[in-house]
């Protein structure tokens, strides 16, 4: 099983206020086997962050498929097996830490007994 597999992965962001649409990913085909070290290298705007966000299920692709450890990025099982530390974490203003935790970890979040989640 591959650690990461993308087939025909594309993401186009819609333009706002008359701006043209922006294609961040264009038919990416990639397979990374388990145990392989790799890096995403490219200039600003090349799609590195969009690829990672798609891999994590934060952004949905416009076309194509992506699998992480053989599962959909939205699968709770896949999410339990992946760690991610962003350079900057930007949450929508309406999303406080507790709802974010539940959104990311699902109903199993309460078993962690973290002080900030004591009211689960």
The domains of the chain, with CATH numbers, are 2-85 (3.40.50.300), 90-120 (no CATH)
Query: Hey, what are 120's tokens?
Result: 């689960």
Q: How confident is the model at residue 119 (pLDDT cuts 50, 70, 90)?
A: very low
The pLDDT value recorded for residue 118 is: 45
Mean pLDDT of the chain: 82
pTM above 0.75, yes or no: no
Query: Considering only CA atoms, which of 74, 75, 24 is closest in space to residue 51?
Result: 24
Specify whether the CB–CB gap between 4 and 30 falls below 8 A.
yes
pLDDT at 6 over 90: yes
């Amino acid at each position: 099983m591959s650690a990461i597999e993308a087939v025909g992965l594309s993401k186009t962001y819609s333009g706002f206020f008359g701006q043209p649409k922006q294609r961040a990913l264009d038919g990416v085909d990639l397979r990374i086997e388990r145990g392989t070290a790799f890096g995403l290298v490219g200039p600003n705007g090349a799609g590195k962050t969009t690829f990672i966000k798609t891999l994590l299920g934060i952004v949905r692709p416009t076309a194509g498929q992506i699998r992480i450890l053989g599962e959909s990025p939205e699968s709770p099982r896949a999410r339990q097996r992946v760690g991610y530390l962003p350079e900057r974490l930007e949450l929508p203003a309406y999303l406080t830490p507790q709802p974010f935790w539940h959104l990311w970890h699902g109903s199993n979040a309460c078993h962690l007994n973290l002080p900030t989640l004591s009211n689960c």
